[in-house]
Amino acid sequence: MPLRTLYNMAQNKPLVQKLLASSYTAATKAGKIIRDIMSAGELGIVEKGINDLQTEADRSAQCCIISNLTREFPKVTIIGEEGQSQCDLPSDWVVPDGDAEILGKQCPEEYLNVKDEDIVVWVDPLDGTSEYTQGLLDHVTVLIGLSVKGRAVGGIIHQPYYNYKSVKNTEGRTMWGLVGMGVGGFTPLDAPKDKLIITTTRSHNSPVVVQTLEALKPDEVVRVGGAGHKVLLVLEGQAHAYLYPSSGCKKWDTCAPEGILEAAGGKLVDVHGDHYDYHKEVEHPNTRGILATNRTVDNAALLKKIPESVVSKFPKKQKV
């Protein structure tokens, strides 16, 4: 599409739709940066905490996403995993346009009057950092989540190494979702009937995770890295549920996955069945654990199988 046409199209669109479209192109560019840094071989690994790494790819991908979005949406709050420090955006990391497919959609009515101050964007520039450093590249995702008035309503999951084992020089894939508008870049699928497949952490295991899995008696446990990757397995029916009874994940790990999953008819809640809040003052850790389910799964029925001795370890959401 000619650039001028795309520009005019974007001008007339509501803020949430423009943000989603620009997040799509920013996440895709961040994926290219992540692949380039891996190819160059200088990962620049820093230990942020116990079992918590950061690489040059995390830093550069965040620089690309936050700088591009801040340039276009200076009044929107954007919170990134790697802090808020400003960076100089190289000219070839600038993404001038949003995604044309998203901009071409009809925006649901509920977003028409959403203002800058109603939105918080949660950015995980590289989810699955330990797996990235270990060469488990298909576990890596770039996550940009959109929350409106505290609820996760949509976002982008970009998988920079999608099919990299079979496709030479893969450019990855970029998936989007917005509650009320639908999803794109992938096909949501039902989980298989008559069995239970649960995906959970591979790099942050704990006795509570093991105890909970035993109680749910799954037919199969799929241990992979990254919150984004695990929710993709749920979205595409390769797992019925993503279970993580732990407080390790943060808001930037779950905002985009939750928004896209809910746009596809699934659900992501804490171990008590409550949604997380994503407003700008909220604490970053998801201290109440996670259960995300495929659109065909009865989330509440699965929650009931989590033993009370596990559920009681997690605080309940404070009602306001």
Measure the CA–CA gap between 299 and 212, rounded to whole angstroms.
15
Residue 204 as a binder of ligand A2P (CB under 6 A): the answer is: yes
Of the candidates 239, 246, 245, which has an alpha carbon nearest to the alpha carbon of residue 223? 239
Examine residue 206 and tell whether it contacts ligand A2P (CB under 6 A): no
Q: Where are any strands of DSSP class E within the chain?
A: 46-49, 52-54, 77-80, 119-127, 141-148, 151-159, 173-178, 182-184, 197-200, 220-223, 241-244, 267-269, 290-293
The answer to whether the beta carbons of residues 296 and 287 sit under 8 Å apart is no
Binding of ligand A2P at residue 142 (CB under 6 A)? Answer: no
Q: Which residues, 6+ apart, have CB-to-CB distance to 166 below 8 Å? A: none
Q: Which of residues 126-155 bind Mg ion (CB under 5 A)?
A: 127
Known binder of ligand: residue 283? no
Q: Is 127 annotated as a binding residue?
A: yes
Q: Which range in 87-95, 180-188, 248-256, 260-268 contacts ligand A2P by CB under 6 A?
A: 248-256
Site for ligand A2P in 11-40 (CB under 6 A): none
Residue 117, C-beta contacts closer than 8 angstroms, at least 6 positions apart: 75, 77
3-state helix, strand, coil in the chain (%, to 5): 35, 20, 45
Q: Could you tell me which stretch among 9-17, 56-64, 106-114, 118-126 binds Mg ion (CB under 5 A)?
A: 118-126
Determine which residue in the list 5, 44, 46, 51 makes contact with ligand A2P, applying CB under 6 A: 51
Query: Which of the listed partners (ligand A2P, Mg ion, none) does 232 bind, with a CB threshold of 5 to 8 Å by partner kind?
Result: none
The residue with its CB nearest to ligand A2P is 248
Closest by CA position to 70, among listed 90, 84, 52, 53: 84
141 interacts with ligand A2P by CB under 6 A: no
Question: In this structure, are residues 70 and 115 in contact, taking their beta carbons and an 8 Å threshold?
Answer: no
Per CB under 5 A, 258 contacts Mg ion: no
277 contacts Mg ion (rule: CB under 5 A):
no
DSSP string, 152-212: EEEEEEEETTTTTTTSTT---EEEEEETTTEEESS---PPPTT--EEEE-SSS--HHHHHH
Examine residue 127 and tell whether it contacts ligand A2P (CB under 6 A).
yes
Identified binder of ligand A2P from the candidate list 52, 110, 190, 219, rule CB under 6 A = 52
Shortest distance, CB of residue 175 to ligand A2P, whole angstroms? 17
Active site (catalytic) residues:
58, 129
CB of 18 to ligand A2P, least distance (A): 26
Check residue 129 for interaction with ligand A2P (CB under 6 A): yes
Mention every residue, 6+ apart, whose C-beta is less than 8 A from residue 218: 196, 197, 198
Find which of ligand A2P, Mg ion, none residue 204 binds, CB within 5 to 8 Å per kind.
ligand A2P
Whichever of 82 and 124 has its CB closer to Mg ion, that residue is 124
The string of DSSP letters for 122-158 reads EEEEEE-HHHHHTT-GGG-EEEEEEEETTEEEEEEEE
Of 82, 253, 262, 277, the residue at the interface with Mg ion (CB under 5 A) is 253
Is 88 annotated in a binding site? The answer is no
Annotated binding-site residues for Mg(2+) read 81, 124, 126-127, 253
Give the residues lining the site for ligand A2P (CB under 6 A): 51-52, 81, 124, 127-129, 201, 203-204, 225-227, 248-249, 253
Give the residues lining the site for Mg ion (CB under 5 A): 124, 127, 253
